[in-house]
């Protein structure tokens, strides 16, 4: 039932009356996430959009993003665009239970139990982008974006063997600096080939507390990650542009309290299409 409702919500974005100068997009990726979004010109250079993301093959809603941007055309080929996005997460996936051994051994019936509930605040994103298109089909753009959000975690630990019965409360604040540098080439007005290099540099402050044992500990860590998005889009049709994208993700490196920690990120493929009316 939930899957049917979510699918109907996504379809409703495209079944209503078409807005003027509106671009729609549908995509699905290797993380089992499905995205539906549209961007429409509101007035002059101001345009806004909505993006819905579902996870687990349309089983759950993940997040919704509302976007506003204003395009300043400096020349026919050069533009500057300030941007604002607000991402509102779904809290459906914020609860998880784990049964097994807290120390990480094989899961055993009647063993240890961890029941966790995580909530993230909305994420505010402020950015500015500039780009230039050449007459020979080459184009390039650069964007900087600053993101900020908060998060809260409450986890209940229960272990008969270890004699542990405690609740962990955690508060976090995350700030992220993101840089995008894109270069592309349109081949004979038929295929758009592009590469987008992404650098993410963030700071995460976490305050942990276990009330039963009167334990408090703060973690302050910086982290960084690089990605490369490779995209090929067919542009031979007037209003329908299918594409394939492959993202190569580097490891996430941590400093500060988590110095030396590395998290491996899997590469992700995506297929999708843009269309307009």
C-alpha to C-alpha distance for 53 and 28, rounded to whole angstroms? 10
Mean pLDDT along residues 15-39: 84
Mean pLDDT along residues 223-250: 96
Per-residue pLDDT of 94-152, as tens digits, reads 555 444 444 433 333 444 667 778 888 999 999 999 999 999 999 999 999 999 999 98
User: Within 10 A of 236 (CB to CB), how many other CB atoms are there?
Assistant: 11
Q: Which residue has the tokens 């239970």?
A: 97
What pLDDT score was predicted for residue 250?
A: 96
Q: Alpha-carbon torsion 51, 55, 61, 62, what sign?
A: negative
What pLDDT score was predicted for residue 109?
A: 42
Burial 59-87 (b: 16+ CB within 10 A, else e): eebbbbbebebebeeeeeeebebebebeb
Mean pLDDT for the chain?
A: 85
More confident residue, 258 or 72: 72
Per-residue pLDDT of 198-217, as tens digits, reads 999 999 998 888 776 667 78
What pLDDT score was predicted for residue 129?
A: 98
- Is residue 65 within 8 A of residue 38, CB to CB? The reply is no
pLDDT grade, residue 48 (50/70/90)?
Answer: very high
What pLDDT score was predicted for residue 168?
A: 78
pTM: 0.83
What whole-number percentage of the chain has pLDDT above 90? Answer: 61
What pLDDT score was predicted for residue 102?
A: 43
pLDDT grade, residue 276 (50/70/90)?
Answer: confident
- Is residue 143 within 8 A of residue 112, CB to CB? The reply is no
- Is residue 42 within 8 A of residue 18, CB to CB? The reply is no
* pLDDT at residue 43 tops 50: yes
pLDDT grade, residue 160 (50/70/90)?
Answer: low
* pLDDT at residue 7 tops 70: no
* pLDDT at residue 253 tops 70: yes
């Amino acid at each position: 039932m939930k899957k049917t409702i979510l699918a109907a919500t996504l379809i409703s974005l495209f079944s209503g009356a078409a807005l003027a100068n509106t671009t729609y997009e549908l995509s699905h990726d290797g993380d089992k996430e499905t995205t539906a979004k549209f961007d429409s010109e509101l007035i002059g250079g101001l345009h806004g959009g909505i993006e819905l993301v579902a996870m687990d093959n349309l089983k759950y809603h993940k997040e919704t993003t509302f976007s506003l941007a204003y395009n300043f055309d400096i020349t026919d080929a050069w533009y500057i665009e300030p941007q604002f996005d607000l991402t509102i997460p779904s809290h459906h996936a914020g609860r998880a239970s784990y049964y097994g051994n807290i120390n990480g051994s094989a899961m055993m019936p009647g063993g240890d139990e961890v029941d966790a509930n995580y909530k993230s605040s909305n994420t505010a994103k402020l950015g500015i982008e500039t780009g230039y298109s050449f007459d020979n089909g080459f184009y390039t753009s650069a964007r900087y974006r600053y993101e900020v959000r908060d998060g809260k975690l409450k986890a209940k630990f229960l272990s008969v063997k270890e004699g542990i019965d405690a609740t962990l409360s955690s508060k976090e604040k995350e700030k992220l600096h993101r840089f995008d540098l894109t270069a592309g080439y349109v081949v004979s007005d038929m295929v758009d080939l592009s590469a987008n290099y992404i650098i993410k540099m963030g700071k995460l402050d976490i305050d942990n507390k276990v009330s039963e044992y009167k334990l408090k500990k703060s973690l302050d860590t910086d982290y960084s990650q690089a990605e490369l998005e490779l995209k090929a889009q067919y542009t031979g049709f007037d209003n329908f542009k299918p594409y394939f994208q492959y993202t190569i993700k580097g490891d996430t490196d941590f400093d500060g309290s988590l110095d030396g920690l590395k998290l491996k990120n899997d590469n992700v493929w995506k297929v999708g299409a843009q269309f307009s009316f």
